[in-house]
Chains A and B, each alone.
Chain A
Amino acid sequence: MRETVQVGDDIQMYDLALLLGEATKVSAGSPGSLTIISPWISNVAYYLGSSGLTVGIPAIAFGRSDVVRLLDFVKYLREDHRSQVRLATLKSSPDKYSNDVAQLIWELRFLHEASEHGAKIYFYSDEGDIRKIMHPKFLLTSLGVVFGSFNFTKSGRYWNIEDGNYSSALSPVYFEKKQRVEEIVAKCKEATLDKIQGLLSKFERRT
């Protein structure tokens, strides 16, 4: 068995499998766990219908949809209040998307809604040059981890030529990555719903 496997253009297949794996656990009464670290993050759409992955679990109603968004997973996982969903990203600032405020608003709206459903949102330090400080990308669940250069955005997941790996929870690599994720989250500051709302209002006013 390989400890890590190469992930390329098929990253969406691994994302989907991991997210649905957590959803399956929730459907069976166990809490789910999801941590995403990505400097740029959005409500990524997954083409579940076109992926060829069939979900035959009655309780997962969105399993019959053609397109499922990250937010759908977050909402479902949080139906069990014990589930832990953490999203860590760079703090929103005008230059985060090279002064493209519209992009920033989309991101904040996603984070705001996720936060409303109980996801914990983390921003990396306010200080310094943000691009030099936080660059790793992880999607970590209790079943495995996807890591590499892919941002958690449509371009990162579907467009760019990127490189990455997948390790299952039984691999030693998983524990290394899990530890790394915890280190990064520890360096971040949790953003409350009010704070996100404040940021969102601020940038919406600018447009």
Chain B
Amino acid sequence: MSLESVKNKIHDLLISLSSKLPQDMSLVDVIEKLAQLSGAISRADLEAIRQSSDELERARKVNEILSLIETRSKLHAPTYIDDFISMQPQLKYPSKIPGTLFESEKSRKVVVDPRIPGRKSPDQVSVDQMMSMLFPGLLTFRYKKLRKVPVGRWSPFKFRVAPPLSAVFVTERDSFDVSKDLLPLDYPAESSTVSVHIPLELNLSEISRDFVRREDQLEEKVDESAEAESNLYLQLCTRCGAVQDGDENCGCGRDFLRYASPPKSYSLIWNIVESAKNEPIPSDPLFGRIFSEASFSADTSVKKILYGFERRFKATSWRINYDTLYGDAFKTDGMRFTISRKIVGDIVEHIKNKDSLLLRDLRVLQYIHELHRSIIRNKYDFTFSQSLIIVKALMTEALIHETPRTSEEVDVVFESARKQPQKLLTGLELLRKVIDISMPLTEEDLVHMCEACVSEATNAIKLNESVERFVLDVFSHSLEHYVLTSAMILLGVDESDIRSHHTQNKDELYLYDNLPDGNGCCETLRKFAKVSSSQRVSAVRDALDKDMPVTLPSKDFFSILEEFMVGCKAERADSVYMKLIRDRQVAKTIQASATDDKVRQELLLKLKQDFAFDEYTISHLDALFRTESHFHVLKNLNDEDLFIFKLVPEALVMKLAENDKFRICPDTSVELDKAVLGKVQDALEMCVDGCPLCMYGSYCEMSIFLMKYFLSRRLVETGYKIIRDSLSVDLEKIAREKLLERATEMLNSNKVLYLKASATNLSLLMETAFSLLGQPVAGSRAYMKAISFDLMRDGFVVKLEAD
């Protein structure tokens, strides 16, 4: 009831009581009080009352929260991350730090001296296990019993020179020096050469009893209370990101925030790989054009350096560098691939002339990259995530008005930000409507930073050949991920056995065995890099002769790599979905199919019958049709803008109509934009537009945050397409009488040929391919390597190769 209505009621009551006064004089007092009350209400400041009641409500909530925190603190006050994690078994990676940071099958051991009464001799663990203990968040050491070992102190501040208090024994002899230039750009090395220590010994006796926690004690803790799982609080320094932990302490004072979930920490590992005495491996006619050289070396030197970690919690992130570098160095077997400069030049020329959208998208990535470099150079101490927010803010400010269509329009966005750095604040303000942002600078400093760094980034991008350099970097880095994944598929191993390396600004990629002296991965890879048809024929006959299974892999390394570069099935299925929702009539059916099983089944059946889609595509489409929010998000997006909004999904949320937001999140009334953002991100995770999600690796030197902004499947697929087109004969573009002559010529000169045709010309394609089968070409014979069909791209393709 409002005060105004109360006042009116009192007025009515006064009139009614006044009429009864002659009969009952005792009402005088009542009437007097009511008159006073009415007067008081008339004089009241309604706005002030409203505000104070709001204030009271807030104070009540604060009291409640404080009391809750106090109660919980009394119940549980964990000081160790492990306690925290162990009590929350439901938490998914990366809350839990992987236990195999440096895992391999190494034989070299570190002596661990626990000095436990009753234990006679020290034990040994591998160097990898030892190093894993130096990473905050994984300070548990499985040495019979789980222990909490405070080793590997780090400094949260740059240039802090404090003697590390460490129980790790290292010697001068067991270290290696690394030039500052070979370390990451943002590592604050104090001298031109930095020592990296190889851990030798962990002396547990140096560690105070107070810091040693036993597994049984931890288990007892868990059993103490049934409500332990999600009510624990972790203390986290807002300034440097340090966790108040047995091992992690910072000099920022004890002004810690308390959080109910642990931060996500990612190790920063840098690799330096070189090789000597390289022996060329069998070449492949297609990949000979991508790699100017591919070789094996039993003399590959690997240096791994753990130089810090990046921690992220909600909107805040910190990058922390170790002042003492720990690492390992060894010689092993490796493979080196040198990227052909010609293919990089061809790609640049192609995208400059024929693919303005890819050029635009790469330009955005280039701005992200250059801006971050500039921010680091100017010592703003930002993490990559924070630099990314700056780019997102500038892009959001621009996207609200218009989406840039070309690389020149992207330049205009950043040029205008350079001239009007205030735009950064506007962009940040817009972003804050959708996400939480925490920036470690004042608004004034942010404007200064924007002015200086955007200007530097813009100038760097304007430099001659900057596009070529960037394309080389992204192409090489992406290929590194392709090569590693293909090798793992061929060998049936994972990243603990084989690793990859690419140094920025260089055109070399490495694969290496993750074990001193090798574990056979690269040796096997060399053997199966390219398997000829005659080898395959002999292997099958031999196996049958000896009554043994055929041991040859069904696909050699280069075949797997090629299959990868053609593109993924999920991308094709997603592309079908995007095409379908562009058709108004089909779109209506898709929308209805989200809730009507019968409509969905009929639609899927029709698609299967009309386009002969396989089961994978049909089940993929089924999942997409069921998710109604995808439809409402993606129908609002042009295909060519997908990449831009993948980078800045917040801007798409702002552009959505309110009706669509309600359709996307029909059950949400509070913080609608934030809820919609989640759905928008889900929808934009479609595999279309060269989504590199499947390419992510756990040990990329670029770190988990940077990696994905320097991977481009589109770039690799474009490179592949350029080469394949130069080796293809399209039956529909060449006169029939010249077909065989042209195909034979190409097979003779290139040793590989792709014949392609649409389904209507399949007969001609087959006739041509089978005419070439077995014919003498390039000093050998033509064999069929692949027959494929892709409705969305080339139609039918037959690959022939000279053996």
A interface, CB within 8 angstroms of B: 1-2, 5-7, 9-10, 12-14, 17-18, 20-21, 24-25, 27-28, 30, 47-59, 61, 66, 143-144, 154, 158-159, 166, 168-171
Q: How far is the CA of A58 from the CA of B771 in the complex (A)?
A: 25
- Cross-chain contact B537 with A9 (CB below 8 angstroms): yes
- Picked from B613, B766, B799, the residue with its CB within 8 Å of the CB of A25 is B766
**B540 and A50 contacting across the interface, CB-CB below 8 Å:** yes
CB distance from A101 to the nearest CB of B (A): 23
Q: Is the CB of B786 within 8 A of A54?
A: yes
* Pairwise interchain contact A14-B773, C-beta atoms closer than 8 A: yes
Sample (19) of A-B pairs whose CB atoms are under 8 Å apart: A2-B776, A18-B770, A21-B766, A21-B769, A24-B762, A24-B789, A25-B763, A27-B612, A50-B536, A50-B550, A53-B785, A53-B787, A56-B789, A56-B790, A66-B554, A168-B767, A168-B770, A170-B740, A170-B767
In the complex, chain B residues whose CB is within 8 Å of the CB of A143: 766-767, 770
Given the contacts A1-B744, A5-B774, A47-B550, A56 and B617 also touching, CB distance less than 8 Å: no
A2 contacts across to B, CB distance below 8 A: 775-776
Contact call B788/A9, Cβ cutoff below 8 A: no
Q: Give me the 8 closest cross-chain CB pairs, A-B, nearest first.
A: A56-B788, A58-B614, A49-B554, A5-B774, A54-B786, A168-B771, A143-B770, A50-B550
A13-B537, A56-B789 known; A159-B531 Cβ under 8 A:
no
How many residues of B sit at the interface, in one of the four size bands? 35 or more
Q: Quick one: closest A residue to B791, CB to CB? A: A58
Chain B: which residue is nearest A7 at the CB level?
B774
Residues of the B chain whose Cβ atoms lie less than 8 Å from the Cβ of A7: 774
Q: Is B556 an interface residue (CB 8 A)?
A: yes
Instruction: Kindly provide the distance from the CB of A74 to the nearest chain B CB, expressed in whole angstroms.
Output: 19
Name A24's closest neighbour in chain B (CB-CB): B787
Would you call A14 and B774 a contact (CB within 8 A)?
A: yes
Distance in angstroms between the alpha carbons of A48 and B554 in the assembled complex = 8
Identify which of B539, B763, B770 gathers the most chain A CB atoms within 10 Å of its CB.
B770
Known A-B contacts: A57-B787, A57-B789, A58-B616. Give 17 more (CB < 8 A).
Answer: A1-B775, A5-B775, A5-B776, A6-B774, A20-B787, A24-B789, A28-B796, A30-B762, A49-B550, A50-B536, A52-B531, A53-B787, A56-B786, A58-B613, A143-B770, A144-B773, A166-B773
Q: Is the interface of A mostly helix, strand, loop or mixed?
A: mixed
C-alpha spacing A168/B782, complex, angstroms: 13
B499 within 8 A of A: no
Q: Are B559 and A52 closer than 8 Å at their CB atoms?
A: yes
- Contacts A49-B554, A52-B785, A58-B613; is A21 near B770 (CB within 8 Å)? yes
Which residues on the B side are within 8 Å of A24 (C-beta)? 762, 766, 787, 789, 796
Query: Quick one: CB contact mask for B582-612 with A, threshold 8 Å, 1 for yes?
Result: 0000000000000000000000000000001
Q: Determine if B544 is an interface residue (Cβ-Cβ < 8 Å).
A: yes
Residues of A contacting B788 in the complex (Cβ-Cβ under 8 angstroms): 54-57
Per the bound structure, the CA–CA distance linking A26 and B796 in Å amounts to 13
Across-interface contacts of B559 in A (CB, < 8 A): 52, 54
- Taken residue by residue from 628 to 661, chain B's Cβ proximity to chain A (1 for < 8 Å, 0 otherwise) reads as 0000000000000000000000000000000000
Interface contact A50-B539, CB-CB below 8 Å: yes
Partner of A17, one of B534, B763, B770: B770
Interface residues of B in 513-557 (CB under 8 A from A): 531, 533-534, 536-541, 544-545, 550, 552, 554-556
Tell me the residues in window 739-793 of chain B with beta carbons closer than 8 Å to chain A beta carbons: 740, 744, 759, 762-763, 766-767, 769-771, 773-776, 781, 783-790
**A residues near B445, Cβ cutoff 8 Å:** none
Q: Does B54 contact A (CB under 8 A)?
A: no
Once the chains are docked, how many angstroms separate the CA of A12 from the CA of B536?
11
Point out the residues of chain A lying under 8 angstroms from B769, CB to CB. 21
Tell me which of B556, B759, B775, B787 contacts A52 (CB under 8 A): B556
